[in-house]
Amino acid sequence: AQSVTQLDSQVPVFEEAPVELRCNYSSSVSVYLFWYVQYPNQGLQLLLKYLSGSTLVKGINGFEAEFNKSQTSFHLRKPSVHISDTAEYFCAVSDNNAGNMLTFGGGTRLMVKP
């Protein structure tokens, strides 16, 4: 079985500061990893995903994430955040044995302060 742990439920940060949102997963096989963002009163939308190849994945809105197999992590980073980045961020994992299911983490609320 696969699982996802997002270590921080809330991350407050000042505007223009860097941010890292942490995600760790557990799976016995090769994985596919995703980050989704949910803005207030909206559905989730994809930020980026790792399927194979380069372990550094670039997404929309200046976000990037790095797949680290040895540490079973897929942390999300942005060098300088904006007020508009205030949202909930979900890490998700799937694999070929998961019956096509995505397993989502509990989410991290990013709060960008002026």
Partner 1 sequence: DAGVIQSPRHEVTEMGQEVTLRCKPISGHDYLFWYRQTMMRGLELLIYFNNNVPIDDSGMPEDRFSAKMPNASFSTLKIQPSEPRDSAVYFCASCRGLPSTDTQYFGPGTRLTVL
Residues that bind partner 1 in the complex, under the rule CB under 8 A: 32, 41-46, 49, 51, 90, 94-96, 98-102, 104-107
CA 58, distance to chain mean position in Å, is 12
Closest distance between partner 1 and the C-beta of residue 111, in Å? 16
Name the residue nearer to partner 1 (CB basis): 7 or 102: 102
Share in percent of the chain as helix, strand, coil (round to 5): 5, 55, 40
* Min separation Cβ 45 and partner 1, Å: 7
Nearest distance from C-beta of residue 76 to partner 1, angstroms: 16
Radius of gyration of the chain (CA): 14
User: In sequence order, which residues have a C-beta less than 8 Å from that of residue 31 and are 6 or more positions away?
Assistant: 2, 25, 93, 94, 95
